[in-house]
Structure 1
Amino acid sequence: MKQLEILGTRIDPASLQDCLETIKNTILLGQQLRIVTANPELIYKAEHDANLLAVINSAGLVVPDGVGVVWAARKLGLPVKERVTGIDLTAGILRESNRHGWRVFLLGAKPGITEKVIRQQSLRYPGIALACHHGFFTQAEEPEVIRQIRHFAPDILLVGLGAPKQEYWNHEHAGLAKVSMGIGGSFDVLSGEVKRAPGVFRESGLEWLYRLISEPGRIKRQVVLPLYLLRVLKQKYFPESDK
């Protein structure tokens, strides 16, 4: 698969189905795969943080999470098949886990959220073995969290600690599952605590706008978007100036 680089971050132009096939093959072969869902905020941050950039680029799969990443890829000359959001990939993983009987551990969110996700998803997908722990654990409590994950022996570890903390965590704790992925706030959506954008917003690439309207506090995070846009245009039209 040909790779694309956006502001130094490697992007694999995989479709949602490509990702699910890669995950399935990884589990069937008993291998390991770390997945990063790269959105514009994470890419922009990584450009200014060499350690984060190295963590992202060392992952086995870095997917284009968001319309801004798809736009940048096409602007830079390598059209990607589609955007692969963390929530859509998580939903696909749960469907495939039900089909194949995979074991899935959920780590993250506030206390009670992942338990709610398990109750709901177990009704929908009775073929999945699920376990969880919230994301508000201290450094002193972390060894016990890791012990619980190892004891459960998950095929897939979904980590919702927020970016880039979840990317660092998965990188530092390789081997806890065959497949590990940072999923941001997806647990809040799956639990129903946060409502996902209506289809019309998602289909038009304006899910970010809906989330900004419904969560005004996100404005502090999204101020980087115009800066990201300018940096992508600079990479396209003035690539030598960055060298």
Structure 2
Amino acid sequence: MKTTISSIIPELTDRIEANQRTFVVTANPEIVMYANEHEKFLRIIQNADYVVADGIGIVIGSRLIKDPLPERVTGYDIFEQLLTWGAANHKKAFFLGAKPEVIAKLNQVISTKFSGLEIAGAYDGYFKDEAPIVEAIKESQPDMVFVATGSPKQEEFIQRNLNTTNGLFMGIGGSFDVLTGSVKRAPKFWQNAHLEWLYRVIKEPARISRLAVLPKYLLKVRKQK
């Protein structure tokens, strides 16, 4: 979807205020390539209300096909701005994902930094049975549900449980880790230079194998062009 961070936030908040159920996918080359190879997952992505370019590779790909996207719109930026809006408007948010210790930190950060936001529920991502979590969402009826269990698990969970509340659902990968300071986000210089991915690899060398997806994705885009 061709959008910017400044335009998508008011659209999403308007939908939340109208109790209009919304599914947001934050797409990067890994997600797109996985969807290309798994038809069921592709249908999940295609059924989302918004698919934003969370990954500079998506933006580069759009330029290759001469249909450029205006900018990268990261899931973390949407997440943080929705938390700020939610705190100012006394909304309820539900959090699912990350490690138990990260969820414990998340509760503290939300209570301190976003004190006007009600925590409808907060569960780590190491669950074996999702039934109690789904029931908690049904009972609390949050305005926003943020799932940070990694793709494709987070999108699959959302697809299965979209009907539990008339709120916004968004898969946001490692955003809980970033918000709590468990993982440091790239400084602004790296972000502005579109090198946030390189910063993450330098800080977490184990991620280097994931870089192989980007050239494969761009090659596929060029072929389809």
Alignment TM-score > 0.5, same fold: yes
| 3-state DSSP of counterpart to 2:19 | coil
| C-alpha RMSD over aligned residues | 1.2
Q: 1:221 Cα shift?
A: 2.1
Segments of structure 1 that go 5 or more residues without pairing to the other structure are: 1-11, 237-243
Contact 1:35 1:61 in 2 (8 A): yes
138, 153, 156: which one pairs with 2:141?
153
Query: After alignment, is 182-191 or 14-23 more displaced?
Result: 14-23
Residues 1-243 of structure 1: pairs in structure 2 closer than 5 A: 12-130=1-119, 131-138=121-128, 141-177=129-165, 178-236=167-225
- 1:51-79 alpha-carbon deviations (Å, 9 max, x no partner): 11111011000001111111111221222
| 3-state DSSP of counterpart to 1:55 | helix
| 3-state DSSP of counterpart to 2:162 | coil
Aligned residues: 223
Segments of structure 2 that go 5 or more residues without pairing to the other structure are: none
Displaced runs of 4 or more, over 3 A: none
Contact 1:157 1:176 in 2 (8 A): no
Query: Which residue matches 1:3?
Result: none
Contact 1:41 1:222 in 2 (8 A): no
* Letter in structure 2 aligned against 1:153: Q
Contact 1:154 1:176 in 2 (8 A): no
In 2: Cα distance, 1:175 partner to 1:235 partner: 36
In 1: Cα distance, 2:110 partner to 2:70 partner: 29
| 3-state DSSP of counterpart to 2:122 | strand
* Letter in structure 2 aligned against 1:114: I
Query: Percent of aligned pairs with the same residue?
Result: 39
